[in-house]
Amino acid sequence: MKNERWTPHVTVAAVIERDGRFLVVEEQTADGLRINQPAGHLEAGETVLEAAIRETLEETAHTFVPQALVGVYMTHIDQPGGGSTFLRFTFCGTCGAEPTPRALDAGIVRALWLTPEELRASRERHRTALVMRSLDDYLAGQRFALDILHTHSVGPRGGGAP
């Protein structure tokens, strides 16, 4: 019996539309140059909304203002030794017209604005199938109010696990 505690990797992503185009990034991965929404991992001490705002700024230099939750997606990737499970919170919202002057995260080649047709035509370059799935959900009008999300912090002496 293992004494390990299994936990999924929590990630966030942002779907940002402007004039029929969507903000995406081209990033270097182990599989080559890939297209993704601004996305990344939740860090200790932050909420999923804070993580989405931070990741969008780090990867695109744009300030993201979340307006709704598009969906929560779970993906399991089989690998030798058990694989990894990712739980992704995808938000939609707006961003400032111009990026802030700053360097982009390591591995990010550039941020660009693509139409849904351009994204569909480049599926083989997507980081994961969730790029199109979350875009399709957004285009279908799927939105959940942000007040569906709750963050509960427990001090060292009370409350237990949520």
Quick one: average pLDDT of 117-140? 97
The model's confidence at residue 1, banded by pLDDT at 50, 70 and 90, is very low
**Does any domain span residue 4?**
no
**Does any domain span residue 31?**
yes
Answer whether residue 157 shows pLDDT above 70.
no
**Does any domain span residue 63?**
yes
Answer whether residue 121 shows pLDDT above 80.
yes
Answer whether residue 82 shows pLDDT above 60.
yes
> Which is more confident, 59 or 152?
59
**Does any domain span residue 1?**
no
Which residue range forms the structural domain that includes residue 105?
9-145
**Does any domain span residue 158?**
no
Quick one: average pLDDT of 81-96? 91
Give the count of domains, the chain. Answer: 1
The model's confidence at residue 42, banded by pLDDT at 50, 70 and 90, is very high
Contact 23, 57 (CB under 8 A): no
List the CATH number of the domain containing 121: 3.90.79.10
> Which is more confident, 153 or 142?
142
